[in-house]
Chain A
């Protein structure tokens, strides 16, 4: 099975900041990576798929990049409504797996 290592596990930033989360796969997954946002008490929401494609309706301040084993997720100009936990998920293998999550908080 493919293991996903996500960092940091928590992050505190101010409104307007640019924040970056990284995700590393234990083996090459090409660009088969998605990012999800989960607000407290809510279901996850797809933000990005195929490493860098923005899902319909998702604000352009969210972006993703990477291929192979190393991936990056960025929020430019952080907004109060971005307070959430973010997860990466690989689909290079039929046994889907998620990173451990990054809890985003406002300073």
Chain B
């Protein structure tokens, strides 16, 4: 049974940094690409970033390029999102999501419960 558990959210001031973690279990983490998706309070879903199974290929939403870095540690079954220069518009629940299969890497098959990031002065 796939389990994904996000942590690291909290309240930060504009311009500050924060790193989110996503602990994975119940599947062979090293074989699956992973995504981050966020949802501002009361709003819809917004894709943030993707990392390939081996960490080599990474893709980002334009609004976070240069500020956010997605990474993974396959020895720890953990996905990360390093967020710098945070803005109030980055306030959201951040979800990690597992791809459906190696060939279906843009389909978000399993999601964690999310962690809330609030950027406010």
Contacts and interface: CB of A to CB of B under 8 A. Distances in A.
B89 interface: no
Interface residues of A, number: 24
Contact of A45 (B35, B50, B111, B114): B111
Contacts of B46: 98
A44 B113 CA distance: 9
A68 to B, nearest CB: 18
A27 to B, nearest CB: 16
Contacts, number: 55
Interface stretch (A16-24, A75-83, A89-97): A89-97
Given A34-B107, A89-B108, A95-B62, A43 B47 contact: no
Nearest to A56: B109
Given A94-B59, A95-B61, A95-B62, A46 B45 contact: no
A32 B106 contact: yes
Interface string B80-121: 000000000000000100001000101111111110000000
A31 B109 CA distance: 17
A94 B48 CA distance: 11
Interface string A1-43: 1000000000000000000000000000000101010100011
Contacts of A45: 111
B26 interface: no
Contacts of B66: none
Contact of B95 (A44, A46, A55, A98): A44
B41 interface: no
Given A43-B95, A43-B114, A44-B95, A55 B44 contact: no
A64 interface: no
Interface of B: 35, 37, 44-47, 50, 59, 61-62, 95, 100, 104, 106-114
25 contacts: A1-B62, A34-B107, A34-B108, A38-B45, A43-B111, A43-B113, A43-B114, A44-B45, A44-B95, A44-B111, A45-B111, A46-B100, A46-B107, A49-B100, A55-B109, A89-B47, A94-B59, A95-B47, A95-B59, A95-B61, A96-B47, A96-B50, A98-B45, A99-B44, A101-B45
